[in-house]
Structure 1
């Protein structure tokens, strides 16, 4: 496609190294077989620490200076102390052990959220079963609009991203994205309990307005 249309294909891949189940999936860069028009963009903020706003490009060596020049026209350079810190961490060989720990944690947290959803939303919703990353995509089947649900859920102390935020056409009013990565399993059940309470309140209010 890159060759056909004469354009660059950028693989935005912040979660690829956090795959905790299933077989390895090749990146677009790997599928591009060394084509300089295809490269991957990754970040340490997802795999190591949110405050480390440092990323990297996976591309051919011939593009290195061109990309450095492009970066410098935007913000001169990335935070130098953060880069030095990461250099020491990576050269010390700590990343793979850290990733193994993170993958296991996220696998457990995904399972805990799916279990809680099955207990509290099993009669009104379905959800995805991702092999990596941070999120579940939940689809409601009881007619509740997730944008209307959002404010009610916040009042219950629960946050999510309503489905329409992921659609330029404003679709997915029946869906929402939940993050399992940042919540310990023991807190997840309480969060899903509150979410169900918010869903029931929103459904009742909607039924009342129609009546």
Structure 2
């Protein structure tokens, strides 16, 4: 009981401090960085920063930390935590990058990402092992946590506010949907790779037998 109470108190204090940091300037910093980078003549820096921001932001998500540990524990080390983190990190990096590309390209609409993206997830769910299907959809939920919703979203909205052809209301939102989608695809791809590797080992074992 003492441990539970202590955990609740520490969690509460941590959440209060986090929200104070967000309101005290965390979101403003992200928005300011986005505006400054979008104001540059070359759009390459903003694309690079967007990808790097997605890479590192997801690593700070508390829920991602918990999920990856649970995956490794439940699978008995079959699915290694660093590998899952790597796939998740790359997925969120590409998600933020895709969101910035959508803002910079007026011809791109959000549905052009979501419709084929979720179509791919449905197709992959019939191919990859059931374990990875559940993991993938859980990963999509935890990757779009408070860190992404505060810093990355503010960063994207700052870019939308600076680009003349973009609108903060219509283009500044939608990033969270892409961030929730990409980890699903990436973990399912990881599942497909595991499935192929397992089949290859089994076929080699059958040949030796």
Q: Is TM (by shorter chain) over 0.5?
A: no
Normalising by structure 1, we get a TM-score of 0.28
Higher strand proportion:
1
Instruction: Flag the structure with larger Rg.
Output: 1
Higher helix proportion:
2
